């Protein structure tokens, strides 16, 4: 009897330790979009609102897509009067029961080394990786170059770190 109980508890521990890779139900991605890029552009950016419906804080730690070689989670900040962007160390926190919005001039998913120009009206697949929720795959529609352009400085003014 004791042996059986030990086996049962071992099985329970194992079940708890195995990570799940199923599509998350705790994270919901709202209104994803990417800015169309001019021909020859090497970088682009994707935006969205991330809703965390779980009772645990989570973190967007990475992303992948076949449209670009490298994807990074970036933030933009004005440093000494110059708009700079950088990869967020440790990822972008998403509060429990809350949301965070990625938008021009702020947080964004940086697409580095574009394989092709992003054209208005097209869509591309994007897989987001969360620390707790795991992978979340979405389709990102491409909107016009000028979409929400007013608060976005030209690429020439940006400093990549």
Nearer to Cu ion, 56 or 157 (CB): 157
Q: Which of 29, 74, 128, 133 binds Cu ion (CB under 5 A)?
A: 74
Binding mask 85-124 for Cu ion (x = CB under 5 A): x------------------------x--------------
Tell me the three state secondary structure of residue 31.
strand
Closest CA to 136 of 28, 32, 51: 28
Stretch that binds Cu ion, among 53-61, 69-77, 95-103, 112-120 (CB under 5 A): 69-77
* Rounded Cα distance, 93 and 71, in Å: 17
Q: What residues have CB less than 8 Å from 152, skipping those under 6 apart?
A: 104, 105
| 35 lies in the binding site for Cu ion (CB under 5 A) | no
Binding region for Cu ion (CB under 5 A): 74, 85, 110
């Amino acid at each position: 009897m004791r042996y059986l109980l030990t086996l049962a508890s071992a099985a329970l521990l194992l079940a708890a330790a195995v990570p799940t890779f199923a599509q998350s139900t705790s994270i919901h991605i709202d209104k994803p979009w990417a800015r169309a890029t001019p021909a020859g552009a090497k970088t682009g950016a994707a935006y969205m609102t991330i809703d965390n419906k779980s009772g645990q804080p989570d973190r967007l730690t990475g992303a992948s897509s076949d449209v670009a070689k490298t994807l990074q989670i970036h933030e933009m900040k004005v440093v000494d009067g110059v708009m700079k962007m950088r990869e967020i160390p440790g990822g972008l926190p998403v509060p429990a029961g809350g949301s965070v919005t990625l938008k021009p001039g702020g947080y964004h998913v940086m697409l580095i080394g574009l394989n092709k120009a992003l054209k208005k009206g097209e869509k591309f697949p994007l897989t987001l990786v969360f620390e707790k929720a795991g992978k979340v795959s979405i389709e990102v529609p491409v909107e016009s170059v000028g979409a929400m352009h007013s608060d976005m400085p030209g690429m020439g003014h940006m400093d990549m770190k």
